[in-house]
Structure 1
Amino acid sequence: MGGRTGFRDNPADRLVTMPEGLPELTLGWEVIRWAVKYLKQPNGPHAGRRWEFVDSQVRFILWWYALDESGRWLYTHGVRRLAKGSGKSPFAALLALAELTAPVRLADFDPQVPGGCVGKPVQMPLVQIAATAESQTENTMRMVRALAPKGSRIVADFGLDPGKTQYYRQPEGQLAVMTSSSAAAEGGEASCIVADETEHWLPGNGGPEFAATLADNLAKSGSRMLETCNAWKPEKGSVAEASYNAWLLQEEGRTRAEDRILYDARVAPPDTDMADEASLMRALDWVYGDCWWVDRRFIANRIWQGTSSPDDSERKYLNRPTEAKDAWLKAAQWSACADPSVELADGEQVALAADLSKSRDATAIILCRVSDGHLFTWDVWEPPLDPDEAEHWEVPRRELDARVAQAFERFDIVAFYAEPGPLLSYVDLWGERYGDRVCMRAHPKNPVRFDMRSTQDGRAHPAVLRRFTDAAMSLHDAIVNGDVTHDGDPRLHRHMVNARRWPNNYGTGIGKSSRHSSAKVDAAVTAVIARLARTEYLALPESRRRKAPTSRKVVVFRGRGGRARAARARRR
């Protein structure tokens, strides 16, 4: 029996993050009818005409206002992370005005109307456009004023009193700017919050604390927050990055929260080459999609200017967050090597690797197929996200032992390297149990033990460190050149992009950004060890290697630039 070991879909690799299709129940059509009736295009070549949505905006509105059969929101938090110039501010202003005046709360279900829902306006709406500084709200607030100027139909019909930083609606409705320095932030009961430019909400300006306060306020009333942002700078601790990580956890099924995040991003393909005109123009066409107002050629010329930073261009125009300066890999490089369609058949020859931990770190098992070096994530155990639960958590050792046994039952394990950490007794047990079944020995005394901390003072053993460092540099080069493939597992992806370069006497290895970092890298370390085990097995004399099955199969692998090609390969 053959099978796949990895996830079918890594959310970090998605180039479009919105749900597929359209929701069955939604108040979105009410918002669209309201906007077409009351709003006019404020600027650009269509200035003064009736507001027209593009398809991507319609899809977001329909999903943002989607309901379940009990009338509860499907999504309680939204994020629109789009490339610079995609129209985030006008759209955010539109939704803010909709929350102030439009029928955006459920009055009744009606299967005869589009979306199956009839809406009613919010009673005593309090709509806040929030940022850490008032200047960050200016783009959105400027569009609010442009969409609802004095003398306009929307102002007259709803009795609005326009101001520079706030609008009043009789009798007690309000749309206003809110900053982290405002005394009203604590305890307010907003009906909707638009969090503007959250890539700039940083610990240094109180951004995360402000976001937490707003979230607490919303929780009291069951109301919602919509973020707008560009891709963030790495490791700055921005709210935008935290929201993205929360969405990843949601999509991986690693959170218990029932409330869900609607995340809207269009991301350039990972093989985009900004120096190649054709590649860049394809990427810009993809990222900007139906944003007809964006001149792609103008953006390309801005990217190619000598004063433009490649990292800034990647964040602003390709909508890709960039990596830390000491990152081992770029996320795009790893994503370009993903091929989750590859299957690992029972009985195939593989090298098995494990990196063990007892509690605070993760424990991982990775398989590396001998025939082509494809990496499969067999299992990963990570501490719970809740700090109190994590404090008492330990890796499930019986489950760990059982997963190793299952690998030996299903596959022809030619090498098994395990970095023991605090679980040396298990590595000794595996050495006794499986030592006669492997061809390549990790250690002269124990064929399984690959101990990078084998000296009494805890420092890395020089010979083992050299082998690991060589393997890390070799795998890095293979990833950059597109000469390795993997199953696209989101846990391995996360650990790979968390890994940092660790120079040593033998070259550049990998490790955590700091000893106390909560960002796990254990699966990345395990992948390096698995590739090393395969390499050392293949270096054995042919007489010491096991004969592989002679059947033929199609192996899918990727070349430079992430392009997949299929080649018929004979398993030796």
Structure 2
Amino acid sequence: MPYGPDGRWTAPEYSLGYQVIDWIEAYLVHGPGDVQGQPITIDREYARFIVDAYEVDSRGRRRVTSAFLSRPKGRAKSELAGMLVCAEALGPVRCDGFDANGNPVGRPLTYPYIRCLATEETQAGNTYDNVYYMLTEGPLADTSGLDVNLSAVNLPDGGKIVPSTASSSSKDGGKESFAVFDESHLYTLPELHRMYNTVTRNLLKRKAAEPWALETSTMYAPGEGSIAELTHGNYLKVVEGLLDNPGLLFDHREAPPVSIRNKAELKKALRYVYGPAAEWMDLDRMVTELQQMPEHEARRYFLNQPTATADQWMPKEAWDAVRSDARPEPGDQIAIGFDGSLRYDATAIVGCRLSDGLIFPIKVWENPHTSDDWEVDVLAVDAAMAEAFKTYRVEWVYADPAYWQDIVGRWALEFGTDHVFEFWTHRDTPMATAVERFRTAVETRQVSHIGDATLTRHVMNARTREVRAGAVLRKETKRSKKHIDACMAAVLAVEARADALADGRMRKKRYRAMSY
């Protein structure tokens, strides 16, 4: 995200965004709604997004190849997308050099071909609805050569704006210069994924046009496999250094953790997440209605928090609430959880400090799913466990021995059978007990975590399966590529900590033998 919760934002050195904003405010009007037909004034928050989206380098080339704008329901995301479609069709959106002051100068694109993607066959989509109104009712309505109808817009000097759905005729072979995927959290069906993939492939064809794509969305339901979820996952990998994608602009505004039942807190959170739009929203009415709807819907659509339904195990707000600035130190007494896979999934070693329940990953190896031949480096896993024993005072290890029985057995011999224990995660009763302990410890703030992005992603990926003893953890589907292994290891680490404390390990001191 280009600016943080404190509101600080660093403007790009070069951007055509300022000219694009001026063009929008001069030539467009608001689309269908309460203020339709009125002149547009871009608010501060969306102005920053436009400036970021139109950043160019010192040669005048676009830096952003794909942008994701995530805001709550009612924040006029589709209208903003419509404004940018009109600008891409007729406005100064590509660099034509630099002026005497070193600022980029914009020009219209040669043969713009713009596709507005929608999910419903029976409608053109919210973005195109706005485009149609802006071009037929605003200052551009009498533009010579501009032919606007419900099926397409033919542009004066060539080019088109086309609305499309998954059931439309084939989009392969298109010459898109700009594409809008509106409400990409709804792109869950295979045909919508195919549509998305086809159009994004088309954007690679016109180098001189510097094509790009815009996704607008409220946050998704984790586990549905929407395009919005995939984009968010890619962004998190960029943050973690696992993926190189400098052309991705991810602009997401999410409410802080808040109790839906607390009216004052909820109103404050709504004011934050709606930003400048809070000034014209009926926040008091929203508070009342949000408290009457299912909580996951309130959080997802209005607080813009990625929230799943009943089968997601850990609420994001509960997990975020126990994030800590504390860090483990060498010599700390800790417990360890280990969960591993040799090939398909991930392998994780996670620690939990005995004194305060601080959870932290020691090492995580993830299958990147880029090759069928990938397998974890067993020697590296073995070395990481040895390094953990060297760095910390490891009092208790619970290790799932599936696929790793020989190595877990060797750890027990090397580090002590009173320190390393097997814990089979497929056994429902002990696993359900451990899962319940972990969830309760988070909700009652008896544990905390360091905010590691990989561990958080694994915890958010975990789903539940009801068994006679309670609930155990599972992936969303058996062959899902969304890993939960670090989460499983964290559960084992917290269980190991509990048993170490019950065994009195915190009271045991280690003395080095002294010779005289």
Name 2:54's counterpart in structure 1.
65
Q: Which of 251, 254, 259 pairs up with 2:242?
A: 254
1:487 to 443, 450, 455: 450
1:361 corresponding residue in structure 2? 345
Which deviations, in whole Å up to 9, do the C-alpha atoms of 1:93-138 show, x marking residues without a partner?
Answer: 110000001111111134616xx21111101111121113355544
Q: Which position in structure 2 is the counterpart of 1:561?
A: none
The amino acid of 2:216's aligned partner reads T
Corresponding residue number in structure 2 for 1:567: none
Q: How does 1:160-309 map to 2 (within 5 A)?
A: 160-203=146-189, 206-222=191-207, 223-256=211-244, 258=245, 260-270=247-257, 272-291=258-277, 292-305=279-292, 308-309=293-294
Matches within 5 A, 1:486-565: 486-541=449-504, 545-547=507-509
Q: Within 2, Cα distance between the matches of 1:158 and 1:397? A: 69
User: Is the counterpart of residue 405 in structure 1 residue 386 in structure 2?
Assistant: yes
Amino acid at match of 2:485: D
Q: Please, which of 329, 333, 345 is the counterpart of residue 345 of structure 1?
A: 329
Shift of 1:370: 0.8
> Aligned equivalents of 1:42 and 1:417: distance in 2?
59
Root mean square deviation, CA, Å: 2.6
How far does residue 44 in structure 1 lie from its aligned partner after superposition? 6.8
1:433 matched to which residue of 2?
Answer: 414
Cα offset, 1:289, TM superposition: 0.7
Distance across 1 between alignment mates of 2:329 and 2:298? 43
Q: Secondary structure of 2:136's partner? A: coil
One-letter code aligned to 1:328: W
TM-score after normalising by structure 1: 0.82
Cα deviation code 1:285-331 (max 9, x no counterpart): 011011133221232233234xx333222221111222142222112
More deviation, 194-203/374-383: 194-203
Mapped partners of 1:353, 1:155: distance in 2: 65
Q: Does 1:394 align with 2:381?
A: no
Mapped contact 2:223–2:461 kept (Cα < 8 A): no
SS in 2 for 1:226: strand
Instruction: Specify the SS of the correspondent of 1:290.
Output: helix
3-state SS, counterpart of residue 122 of structure 1: coil
Cα distance 1:189–1:336, how it changes in 2: closer, same or farther (>3 A)? same
Q: 1:148 and 1:236 mapped to 2: Cα distance?
A: 36
> For residue 90 of structure 1, what is the aligned residue in structure 2?
79
Q: Which residue is 2:424 aligned to?
A: 452
Is residue 2:72 matched to residue 1:100?
Answer: no
Q: Which of residues 315, 326, 329 in structure 1 aligns to 2:311?
A: 326
- Whole-angstrom distance in 1 between the partners of 2:155 and 2:80: 20
Please give the secondary structure, in 2, of the residue aligned with 1:153.
coil
Matched, 1:132 2:119: yes
1:145 is the counterpart of 2:132: yes
Q: Match for residue 6 of structure 1?
A: none
Taking the aligned partners of 1:189 and 1:40, their CA distance within structure 2 comes to: 28
Give 1:385's aligned residue: 369
User: Secondary structure at the residue paired with 2:272?
Assistant: helix
**Does the CA-based 8 Å contact 1:15-1:269 persist in structure 2?**
no
Q: Supply the distance in 1 between the matched residues of 2:162 and 2:8 (Cα, whole angstroms).
A: 31
CA–CA separation in structure 2 for the residues paired with 1:64 and 1:108: 18
Q: Is the 8 A contact 2:119 2:125 kept in 1?
A: no
Offset, 1:253: 2.0
Which residue of structure 2 aligns with residue 3 of structure 1?
Answer: none
**Shift in Å, 1:39:** 2.4
What CA distance in whole angstroms lies between the structure 1 residues aligned with 2:167 and 2:33? 34
Q: Which amino acid aligns with 1:230?
A: T
CA displacement at 1:84 relative to structure 2: 1.1
In structure 1, runs of 5+ residues without a counterpart are 1-10, 442-446, 454-458, 550-572
SS at match of 1:149: helix
**What do the CA deviations read for 1:347-385 (whole angstroms, capped 9, x no partner)?**
111112222221112111111111011101111001113
1:41–1:183 CA distance, 2 compared to 1 (3 A): closer
SS state at 2:420 partner:
coil
Structure 1 SS opposite 2:74: coil
Does 1:376 pair with 2:338? no
TM-score (norm 2): 0.91
Residue aligning to 1:54? 43
Counterpart code for 2:366? E
Q: Which amino acid is the alignment partner of residue 261 of structure 1? A: L
Q: 1:110 to 1:342 in 2, by over 3 A?
A: farther
Higher relative CO (Cα under 8 Å, sequence separation at least 6) belongs to 1
Contact 2:369 2:481 in 1 (8 A): no
Amino acid at match of 1:450: E
SS state of the match for residue 68, structure 2?
strand
- Hey, what's the Cα distance between the residues in 2 that align with 1:317 and 1:410? 45
Instruction: Give distance in 2, aligned partners of 1:202 and 1:362.
Output: 25
Q: Give the residue type in structure 2 aligned to 1:78.
A: A
* 1:127–1:470 distance in 2 versus 1, CA, 3 Å: same
Whether the aligned pair in 2 keeps the contact of 1:15 and 1:268 (CA below 8 Å) is: no
Aligned partners of 1:73 and 1:285: how far apart in 2? 33
* Partners of 1:343 and 1:300 in 2: CA distance: 37
Letter in 2 for 1:546: K
Residue in 2 aligned with 1:317? 302
Counterpart of 1:7 in structure 2 is none
Asked if structure 2 preserves the Cα contact closer than 8 Å seen for 1:420 and 1:449, the reply is: no
Q: Distance in 2 between matches of 1:108 and 1:250?
A: 31
Secondary structure at 2:228 match in 1: helix
SS at match of 2:476: coil
CA contact (8 A) 2:28 2:134 kept: yes
Q: Using the aligned pairs only, state the percent identity.
A: 31
Task: Kindly provide the CA deviation profile for residues 118-159 of structure 1, in whole angstroms up to 9, marking residues without a partner as x.
Answer: 111101111121113355544322322332225x43344564
Distance 1:489 1:518 in 2: 19
Query: What is the distance in 1 between the residues matched to 2:31 and 2:463?
Result: 47
The match for 1:565 is: none
